[in-house]
Structure 1
Amino acid sequence: MNQVVLTLLCALLFGVSLTHSAGHGAGRSPRCLCRGRLLKSVNPGIIHVVELFPPSASCSKTEIILTLTRKGKGKGKGKEERLKVCLHPYKKQGRRLVEGNGIQNKKQKNGGRKGKN
């Protein structure tokens, strides 16, 4: 009798702990990559990589993470430094990225047309 009660008690505790841990999903503690300050815009010439993360189960926000390339200054001259920053998805530059227009290079400012003759 004691063994049956002990087995049922263990099964009950396991079931309660399982349902309790399942309740701590995305709504309670989001694990977003961008925390703190979001940049409004960035110079397109120094952007190396653009990563766009739509809302998901782990984070309810749209996130844009940019990897910037800067020329090294000081001791390591000639080396490139990589810096990851978060871009605000609802400002002008962020909206363009989310909508799919991307960041235009300096060469593309004229819409792809050749110079006037």
Structure 2
Amino acid sequence: MTKKVLVVEDNDLNRKLFCDLLKAHDYEPQPLGDGREAVETAQSQSPDLIIMDIQMPHVSGLDLIGALKQDAELKSIPIMAVTAYAAKGDEERIRAAGAESYVSKPISVVKFIEEVKALI
């Protein structure tokens, strides 16, 4: 059965890139451009993995990771955080929020897919 991956990314080009990479490796991407819909979409779609941008308008990816991990039905879904803002201490904050994995932008295609495979 094809594994579903919810891709929460506000940047159209990044979202398309992530979804194209996932499709090329036989995953079923579920693109989402507005983080405000992430928890509800995860509840209705039951993805096997969530790829979460951290810097988005309207809502922080860190807040969304926290909300997903507090939901009894969603907390077991692994989260891979992806961010361009890789300052000192960011990875620790992202992991403390509940993300199982962290990839900085611009992404390495090989590392991106390796992380996806490791989490599913």
Q: TM-score range by the shorter chain?
A: under 0.3
TM-score (norm 2): 0.22
Query: If each structure's helix is expressed as a fraction of its own residues, which one has the higher value?
Result: 2
Q: Whose radius of gyration is greater, 1 or 2?
A: 1
TM-score (normalizing by structure 1): 0.23
